[in-house]
């Protein structure tokens, strides 16, 4: 399946590619809500154990996202240029990248699972559960890598429905497994009968194991579909010999994106350590607010996947007009949707927070954080989409520099200053984050409309 770049409505094309990704993001967020609530039923310490591991897990996802960019943009360029053989070779190298990256992250996270939560400031009552959670989650890293890379590749082929299907099924599987792995065996009254529900009683470790097993399913399915995609089908029996030219291009395209995500996630790790120093209630509230915030910007991520594919294929087809039009239209669509979501988030912040924890102090704190950040979400949406369009146009360094400046030049110094000097507690962290997101949106928007990206991909007008 490839994208029709000419003829018909551009808005129709953007929406046709966007809606499955938006639904995927929405379902993933809904399942994350249920997942957080199921762990939250075990108490604030259990929620904090998951929270303290969120940043290192995000870092892994961010680095793998960069790898996915490196290969998926090459696939979209090849499809736009009508070079099917090139597209097949890139897919083959994507399989090799998934195997290597998955094995590397497995070794790193398993080896450091006893240290990472401690380095991030987990309290003594949280540390054993946090260590167990990271150790079990890390077992699924090879499949996390395959799922992340081939979700990106499939989207740039124009197939956004396969990632929607398999990632959504994996999320449902995660909830089902949580039900049996987190809790002890218990009895439930049903229609006058007493039903015995078996349970492993593994607590936080059970939640991590459920996530790992779900990734095994999703990663395997997406790898299988990605290597059997119509005319881009490859045969693994032909081998996975490294192709230096494709790998070098993947590094050039993907490394800045990986470094950008690493920059952001290292900053999030620093923020997690700062939040952990504020106590278990603050750490639990931060996790809940972070999960709920995803409702606001998830349409932007879904639209950004479509934007990367459309801009990338337009570049391959040598159409500056299509690239510019698709990129701008995608950003405007994300701005409208995320603005509406921000209003709803402000209105329903207390209700959302109460879904995840029964501790009134945790719920009130989480709701306050959501009402702080909702004002930054529209500009954050612009930064998400324009970062994607810039990558699709090979302007991969600017998003990295932008993230570096905003995270380490603004958020990191501002948050502790507001905590220690102004005494704002957890609010300081979210105020600093909002300032970061607003500046990032302004800078990315200015970069796209400057047209400098046309030089990066060879579409500059003579």
pTM for the full model? 0.80
For residue 64, CA distances in Å to 20, 78, 90, 104, 324 come to 21, 21, 16, 11, 27
For helices 127-138 and 204-226, angle between their N-to-C axes, nearest 10 degrees: 20
- pLDDT tier for residue 7 given thresholds of 50, 70 and 90: very low
Mean per-residue pLDDT, 335-364: 87
Report how far residue 286's alpha carbon sits from residue 47's, in angstroms, rounded to the nearest whole number.
Answer: 10
Residue keyed to tokens 């957890």: 426
Q: Which of 7, 5, 281, 342 is nearest to 126 (CA)?
A: 281
Do 427 and 366 touch, CB atoms closer than 8 A?
A: no
Residue pLDDT, tens place only, 91-124: 999 999 999 999 999 999 999 988 888 887 778 8
The token duo for 20 is 């499955």
Do 330 and 384 touch, CB atoms closer than 8 A?
A: no
pLDDT of residue 374 exceeding 60, the answer is yes
Phi, psi at residue 185, to the nearest 5°?
-60, 130
Least confident among 40-49, 197-206, 228-237, 360-369: 40-49
Residue pLDDT, tens place only, 432-449: 999 999 999 999 999 999
Report how far residue 418's alpha carbon sits from residue 422's, in angstroms, rounded to the nearest whole number.
Answer: 5
Residue pLDDT, tens place only, 412-424: 999 999 988 888 8
Mean per-residue pLDDT, 354-367: 83
pLDDT of residue 1 exceeding 80, the answer is no
**Residue 6 DSSP class:** S
Sign of CA dihedral 216, 222, 226, 227: positive
Mean per-residue pLDDT, 55-73: 87
Report how far residue 56's alpha carbon sits from residue 265's, in angstroms, rounded to the nearest whole number.
Answer: 7
pLDDT of residue 274 exceeding 70, the answer is yes
């Amino acid at each position: 399946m490839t994208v029709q770049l000419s003829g018909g409505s551009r808005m129709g094309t953007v929406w046709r590619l966007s809606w499955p990704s938006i639904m995927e993001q929405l379902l993933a967020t809904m399942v994350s809500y249920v997942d957080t609530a199921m762990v939250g039923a075990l108490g604030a310490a259990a929620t904090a154990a998951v929270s303290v591991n969120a940043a290192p897990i995000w870092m892994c996802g961010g680095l793998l996202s960069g790898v996915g960019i490196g290969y998926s943009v090459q696939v979209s360029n090849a499809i736009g240029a009508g070079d099917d053989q090139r597209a097949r070779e890139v897919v083959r190298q994507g399989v090799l990248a998934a195997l290597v990256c998955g094995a590397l992250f497995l070794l790193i996270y398993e080896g450091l699972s006893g240290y990472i939560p401690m380095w991030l400031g987990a309290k003594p009552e949280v540390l054993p559960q946090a260590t167990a959670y990271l150790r079990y989650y890390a077992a699924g890293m090879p499949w996390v890598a395959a799922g992340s890379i081939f979700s990106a590749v499939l989207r740039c082929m124009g197939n956004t429905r396969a990632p929607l299907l398999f990632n959504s099924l994996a999320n449902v599987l995660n909830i089902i497994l949580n039900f049996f792995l987190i809790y002890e065996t218990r009895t439930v009254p049903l229609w006058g009968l007493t039903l015995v529900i078996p349970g492993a009683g593994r607590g936080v470790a059970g939640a991590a194991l459920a996530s790992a097993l779900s990734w095994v399913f999703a990663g395997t399915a997406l790898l299988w579909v990605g290597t059997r995609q119509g005319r881009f089908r490859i045969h693994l029996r032909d081998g996975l010999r490294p192709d230096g030219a494709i790998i070098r291009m993947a590094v050039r395209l993907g490394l800045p994106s990986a470094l950008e995500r690493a920059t952001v996630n290292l900053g999030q790790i620093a923020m997690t350590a700062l939040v952990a120093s504020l106590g278990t209630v603050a750490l639990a509230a931060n996790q809940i607010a972070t999960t709920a915030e995803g409702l606001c910007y998830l349409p932007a991520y879904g639209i950004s996947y479509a934007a990367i594919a459309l801009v990338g294929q337009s570049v391959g087809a040598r159409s500056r007009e299509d690239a510019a039009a698709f990129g701008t239209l995608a950003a405007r669509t994300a701005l409208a949707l995320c603005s509406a979501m921000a209003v709803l988030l402000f209105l329903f912040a207390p209700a959302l927070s109460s879904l995840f924890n029964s501790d009134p102090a945790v719920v009130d704190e989480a709701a306050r954080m959501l009402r702080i950040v909702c004002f930054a979400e529209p500009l954050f949406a612009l930064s998400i989409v324009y970062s994607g369009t810039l990558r699709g146009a090979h302007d991969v360094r600017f998003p990295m520099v932008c993230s570096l400046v905003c995270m380490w030049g603004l958020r990191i110094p501002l948050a502790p200053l507001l905590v220690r000097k102004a005494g704002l507690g957890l609010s300081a962290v979210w105020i600093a984050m909002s300032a970061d997101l607003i500046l990032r949106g302004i800078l990315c928007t200015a970069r796209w409309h400057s047209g400098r990206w046309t030089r990066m991909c060879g579409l500059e007008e003579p």
